[in-house]
């Protein structure tokens, strides 16, 4: 009996295998997604909050990617590098001269969720596939996606900086482009580039003492989760808020930027609706 079954067994196997492979290989090469270079249009400005640290050997790669994206989206992207968390802690990585952490950065790394690896970035405080923290090869995709949605609010920044007193006044004005329910909050960050200090760099094989740190968060002029400006907004509704700050003596004003952004807060969701940036010194 066993011998009689053999041809049937092999026939079954052969036909099953051939059928399956034909189906799979046939389907495999037909469906392709054509990739088109993306050229941004419109006035949506997206914010990347990058989490980094001087002890993070792969973080210079993140910094390069930020510059890459800024080159590509000069009018549609603003970035801030937050030295926060494990790799930024000088107790564990006593590198260089400065502690580039801020209280706001340490708060935001918890508020926006701890990254699974560094460098990590949050794009417009919006989750992608359930994740708020994105690895650097996801930033471009998230930025591209966000840019294509017109801003629900337009914002502009007016600043006055007195060199003698180092007093900075920032006024952010906004106008609703569509009706939104939920609290509108305004955040203003001060960043500094051109900070020369140590950094662990994988490609350099270790510590680089004169590494240039860019877009480093120095302080916030608003509360860390934003200053409430409206409980909701309608089309055409406007707001304007001013904040004052005396710059720290150690900061170089001509290398600093003011970043402003508005978020729509609904419970545990707080996506950024629009961002803007200007150089601090005129």
Partner 1 sequence: MSVYRLLTLVICSTLSSLVYSQEQLSVSGSLDNNTYFYLYDEKIVPPGIPQYERQQIGLETWLSLRAQIAGFDFGMRYDMFENSALLNPTDSYTEQGIGRWYAGKKLGKLSILGGYIYDQIGSGIIFRAYEERPLLIDNALVGLKVAYEISPDWTIKGIAGRQKNLFDLYESVLTGINIDGFKSFGEEGKVTIAPGFGATHKTLSDAQMDALAGTLSQYTPEDFIDSVPYNTVSVTLYNTLSTGRFSWYIEGAYKTQEVINDIYATSTLWTGVESVGKFVLTDGYVFYTTLSYVGDGLGLSAQYKRTSNFVSRADPFVAGNRGLIDFLPPMARVNTYRLTSRYAPATQELDEEAFQIDARYAVNKKLSLLVNYARITRPEAEENRNIYDELYTQFTLKKPKKWTMIGGVQFLRYDQELYQGKAGVPIVEAITPYIDYLYKFDQKKSLRTEVQYMSTEQDYGSWLYALAEFSISPHWLFELSDMYNIAPTVKEDGKEGEKLHYPTAGVVYSAGSTRYALRYVKQVEGVVCSGGICRLEPAFSGVKLNISANF
Could you list the residues that contact partner 1 (CB under 8 A)? Answer: 2, 5-6, 9, 12-13, 16-17, 20-21, 24-25, 27-29, 31-38, 57-58, 61, 64-65, 67-69, 71-72, 85-86, 89, 91-92, 114-117, 128-130, 135, 137-138, 140-145, 200-207
Closest to partner 1 by CB, 2 or 249: 2
Count of residues in the chain = 282
Closest to partner 1 by CB, 179 or 204: 204
Closest to partner 1 by CB, 20 or 196: 20
CA distance linking residue 126 with residue 74, whole number of Å: 21
Cβ–Cβ < 8 Å for 262, 155: yes
Residue with tokens 């993306």: 38
Residue with tokens 């409206």: 230
Closest to partner 1 by CB, 29 or 267: 29
| Strand 153-162, strand 167-176: pairing | antiparallel
Least distance in angstroms from the C-beta of 106 to partner 1: 8
Q: Give how far the C-alpha of residue 30 lies from the chain's centroid of Cα atoms, to the nearest Å.
A: 36
Least distance in angstroms from the C-beta of 134 to partner 1: 8
Closest to partner 1 by CB, 9 or 149: 9
Question: For residue 241, which of 158, 163, 161 has the smallest C-alpha distance?
Answer: 158
CA distance linking residue 28 with residue 240, whole number of Å: 55
Least distance in angstroms from the C-beta of 216 to partner 1: 19
Residue 100 phi/psi, 5-degree rounding, is -90, 10
Residue with tokens 């060199």: 163
């Amino acid at each position: 009996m066993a011998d009689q079954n053999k041809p049937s067994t092999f026939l079954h196997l052969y036909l099953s295998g051939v059928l399956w492979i034909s189906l799979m290989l046939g389907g495999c090469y037909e469906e392709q997604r054509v990739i088109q270079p993306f050229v941004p249009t419109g006035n949506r400005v997206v914010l990347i909050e990058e989490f980094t640290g001087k002890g993070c050997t792969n973080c210079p790669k993140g910094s390069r990617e930020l510059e890459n994206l800024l080159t590509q989206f000069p009018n549609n992207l603003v970035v801030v590098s937050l030295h926060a968390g494990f790799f930024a802690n000088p107790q564990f990585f006593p590198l260089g001269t400065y502690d580039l952490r801020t209280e706001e950065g340490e708060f935001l790394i918890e508020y926006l969720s701890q990254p699974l690896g560094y460098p990590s970035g949050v794009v417009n405080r919006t989750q992608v596939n359930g994740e708020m923290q994105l690895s650097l090869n996801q930033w471009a995709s998230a930025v591209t996606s966000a840019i294509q949605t017109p801003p629900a609010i337009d914002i502009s920044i007016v600043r006055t900086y007195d060199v003698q007193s180092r007093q900075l006044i920032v006024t952010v004005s906004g106008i609703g482009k569509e009706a939104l329910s939920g609290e509108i909050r305004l955040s203003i960050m001060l960043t500094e580039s051109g900070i020369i200090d140590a950094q662990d760099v994988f490609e350099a094989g270790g510590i680089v003492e004169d590494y240039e740190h860019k877009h480093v968060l120095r302080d916030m002029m608003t509360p860390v989760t934003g200053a409430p400006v409206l409980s909701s907004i309608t089309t055409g509704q406007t707001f304007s808020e001013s904040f004052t700050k005396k710059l720290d003596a150690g900061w170089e004003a001509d290398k600093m930027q003011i970043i402003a952004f508005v978020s729509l807060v609904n419970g545990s969701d707080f996506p950024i609706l629009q961002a803007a940036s200007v150089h601090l010194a005129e």
